[in-house]
Structure 1
Amino acid sequence: MLNDTTSPLPRRRALAAALATASLAAAPAVHAQAASPAPIRWRMGTSWPTALPLLHETAVDFADSVRAASGGRLAIEVIDPGKHGAPAGLLQAVKEGRFEIGHTTAQYYAAQVPAIDFFTAIPFGLTALENHAWLAEGGGQALFESILAQHNVLPLAVGDTGVQMGGWFAKELKTPEDLKGVRIRIAGFPGRVLARVGAVPVNLPLGQIVAAFAEGRIDAADVVGPAIDATLPLAQYAPHYYAPWHEPDVVMHSFIDRAKFMALPADLQHILRQVAQAAALRSMARAQDRNAVAMRALEGRGTALRQLPPSVLAALKTATAQELAESARADADSKKVIDSLLAYKARVAPYALQADGAIFQSR
């Protein structure tokens, strides 16, 4: 009789047990659905026209990687300057809440916050690897964050161009006097160094360089490197292409609304930091590969890379030292950054000459 399911009582018990089992089986799915919040959506304005390789690619790489690493919990929409119209205004845009994040470079904002200029590049400064070593191991990142905390902005290094060329010039440079009066598109600290030797720095977004040449508003331009330079008709305006001196590496940055970053769960904060480093590493690899190929293409079109004469390099080194000293005197935060950066260079540069230098000489 205990196993007789044909009687009414056992049938009712069997049905109740089946319903209970079904309810328990469904419970985890209901709980999981309730525990999955809507994705956090951020808008990221960039300084880079979509037509320029490397720079815009790094911004997209960062955004896509954040989405993938977070399982879609944090989604970043990339908005290029053709849509937002403020390629060099992203620090203010983030501070005002127009974007949660901006992908740009710190030197564009030196007029607002002088100390952050030196996190992009200084002449005769740090290579890409050395820059990231300074940030991660030499106290640079903590210093960067402390300076921008008062602006409610959290900065992260998200990309590197690697070595940048010395620029395109309409006239050949033979002595330091040849720089006097030259109107050159360049930004930040390197522009102030050139001003010390008589050049006239002109701050223009990348997308306006060709038009400025065509309209006779500039005589020279620091662009980026071969992979980007080769996409623009620069040689027809400035046939003299010079080897690097002023930017051993240029760092791209993400400026994040600090309050919104701190409101994220701890794992998403960690993901943002780690993805930024990964995107920077991939950008270095991408730049090294593309620049090598593009330089051969430029040479095939008749462009020859010129070396700056020793007298010009000597004048620029002197001007760099003078400008660093003046910047340190003028602003306490700048002094902290300059002291930290130069101390780190003194720590690692001798080894780079011993190790990397020996490799290059043996090739």
Structure 2
Amino acid sequence: MPGNFTLPRRGLAALLLPFAFALSLALSLAGCAAPAAAPPATQPIVWRMGTSWPTSLPLLHEAALDFADTVNAASGGRLRIETIDPARLLQALRGGEFDLVHTTAQYYAAEVPAIDFFTAVPFGLLPVEQEGWLNEGGGQALFEAVLAPLDVLPLTAGHTGIQMGGWFAKPLRTPEDLRGVRVRIAGFPGRVLARVGAVPVNLPLGQIVPAFAEGRIDAADVVGPAIDATLPLARYAPHYVAPWHEPDVAMHLFIGRAKFLALPADLQQIVRQSAQAAALRSIARANDRNAVAMRELEARGTRVEPLPPAVVEALREATRVELDASARADADARRVIQSLLAYKARVAPYSLQADQAVFKVR
């Protein structure tokens, strides 16, 4: 998963507080003044959206644009989403110009630990399963409940698809081969690697290659073939490891709850459905581009190396231990983890019976 390149790691409430306060103040004063004239029917509502994604991360950046374009079209121009140029992001934040942000929950897990598990969990849910958990298994209701105290409405609005296990300078043959390895990785998967002795290093995308060249890292988790193929990673780390830690990485919209609830019911539904449309489109886009990029990597001599069973089991056990520790440390995290694992237990057997059966015969 990429680091947070352009969106400073301020608290969620801080990102969205300026407009929420302004709206609250306006409502409180409404009873003390003459009713304001209704705006003309043709006057659009304009929301300004910041994103965590530079244009150098097209799969992620495009998910944000998909959401904005769908809202703009489906609302007939009544609600317009303006995407802020990443070059102006910091200025926009400081000026309180955001109405919503397109990012990923993982970036704010230090403030709200429970939301980490809506981004990625090792050995967890595939993209379609993630959507199933959110929409059919109670995940979305939990997501909203966890962030309700911050007056933030979260919506999933993008997926990267399955991410490879990373680029390593040396092969992984035993669990001991991970000890002391400095891995560019973030979030919950980084904590899992730390439990087997690796050293997580948080770096933005643009610093990965220099860090390899300067000997500051020994391995790197990037995104997936479509983005990995744009970097000379094999020059420094020729061992491209099979997936395990991020069966999917979800991207999210964080919207001020008061701002959202001020919309007419039909525009609220358009916002929700546009987020889901962006999420589903991103799954298709990632699958297509990663497939093409994987062929390009193979043509250059890169091969995906499966993890030995002993390494997989060590990582699986480390994931279990870290999930248990997270559940003990935070009540909301415990509810989210329990829900996610219950949904995985519900759908994983069918995936084995159906999806893998098709993979074997087609």
Please give the range of the TM-score, normalised by the shorter of the 2 chains. Answer: 0.7 to 0.9
Query: Which residue in 2 is equivalent to 1:55?
Result: 60
Report the CA distance between 1:165 and its aligned residue: 0.4
Taking structure 1 as the reference length, what is the TM-score of the superposition?
A: 0.86
How far apart, CA to CA, are the structure 1 residues paired with 2:199 and 2:295?
31
DSSP-derived class of the 1:172 partner = coil
Shift of residue 213 of structure 1? 2.6
2:146 paired with 1:147: yes
Residues in 2 aligned to 1:190 and 1:320: alpha-carbon distance in whole angstroms: 8
> Partner amino acid for 1:113?
V
1:74: how far off?
1.5
Q: Which amino acid letter does the alignment assign opposite residue 151 of structure 2?
A: N
Provide, for residues 220-246 of structure 1, a one-character-per-residue CA deviation record: whole Å limited to 9, x for no partner: 111111111111221122111111001
Counterpart of 1:18 in structure 2 is: none
Distance 2:88 2:76 in 1: 28
| Distance apart, 1:265 and its partner CA | 1.3
* Structure 2 CA distance for partners of 1:267 and 1:166, relative to 1, 3 Å: same
Contact 1:165 1:244 survives alignment (8 Å)? yes
Deviation at 1:145, TM superposition (A): 0.3
Matched residues in 1 for 2:108 and 2:213: separation?
27
Once the two structures are superposed, the pairs formed by residues 272-283 of structure 1 within 5 Å of their partners are 272-283=271-282
Q: How does 1:319-338 map to 2 (within 5 A)?
A: 319-338=318-337
> Aligned match of 1:77 in 73, 79, 82?
82
When Rg is computed on C-alpha atoms for both structures, the one with the higher figure is: 1
Q: Which residue of 2 aligns with 1:306?
A: 305
Q: Distance in 1 between matches of 2:303 and 2:353?
A: 30
Q: Partner of 1:130 in structure 2?
A: 129
Query: Is the Cα–Cα contact under 8 Å of residues 50 and 80 in structure 1 kept in the other structure?
Result: no
SS, match of residue 54 in structure 1: helix
Quote the residue 1:25 is aligned against: none
Structure-1 residue corresponding to 2:184: 185
Confirm whether residue 213 of structure 1 aligns to residue 218 of structure 2: no
**Map of 1:235 onto structure 2:** 234
**Matching residue of 1:157:** 156
Runs of 4+ residues over 6 Å off in structure 1: none
1:289 positional shift? 0.7
Question: Where in structure 2 are the equivalents of 1:259-298 lying within 5 Å?
Answer: 259-298=258-297
The CA deviation at 1:34 is 7.4
Q: Distance in 1 between matches of 2:264 and 2:346?
A: 37
* Contact residue 63 and residue 76 of structure 1 kept, 8 A: yes
> Per-residue deviation at 1:49?
1.4
- C-alpha deviation, 1:203, in angstroms: 2.0
1:5 counterpart residue number: none
Distance in 1 separating the partners of 2:109 and 2:177: 27
Q: Say yes or no: does 1:41 pair with 2:46.
A: yes
Letter in 2 for 1:261: F
- Deviation of 1:202 (Å): 1.6
Say if 1:82 and 1:218 are closer, same or farther in 2 by CA, change over 3 A: farther
Asked if residue 104 in structure 1 is aligned to residue 109 in structure 2, the reply is: no
Query: How far does the alpha carbon of each residue in 1:127-179 deviate from its partner, in whole angstroms, 9 at most, with x for none?
Result: 11110111001100000001011111110000111111000111211111111
TM-score normalised according to structure 2 size: 0.86
The worse-fitting range, judged by mean Cα deviation, of 261-270 and 207-216 is: 207-216
Q: Distance in 2 between matches of 1:64 and 1:351?
A: 35
| Match of residue 173 from structure 2 | 174
The alignment status of 1:253 with 2:252, answered yes or no, reads yes
Alpha-carbon displacement from aligned partner over 1:25-68 (angstroms, at most 9, x marks no partner): xxxxxxxx974242222221111110222111111111111111
Render the CA deviation track for 1:177-207: whole Å, top value 9, x for unaligned. 1111111111111111000001111222334
Deviations 1:84-115 (A, max 9, x none): 259xxx9xx69x94411111111121111100
In 2: Cα distance, 1:205 partner to 1:183 partner: 15
| Root mean square deviation, CA, Å | 1.9
8 Å Cα contact 1:97-1:257 kept in structure 2 = no
> Partners in 2 of 1:43 and 1:71 — Cα distance?
17
Inter-CA distance 150–46: structure 2 relative to 1 (3 Å threshold): same
Paired AA for residue 297 in structure 2 = L
Identical aligned residues as a percent: 74
Work out whether residues 185 and 204 of structure 1, in 8 Å CA contact, stay in contact via their aligned partners in 2: yes
Contact 1:48 1:206 in 2 (8 A): no
Match of 1:201 in 2: 200
Question: What is the rounded CA distance, in whole Å, between the counterparts of 2:105 and 2:235 in structure 1?
Answer: 31
When residues 257 and 211 of structure 1 are mapped into structure 2, their CA distance, relative to the original with a 3 A threshold, is farther
Structure 1 unaligned segments of length 5 or more: list them: 1-32
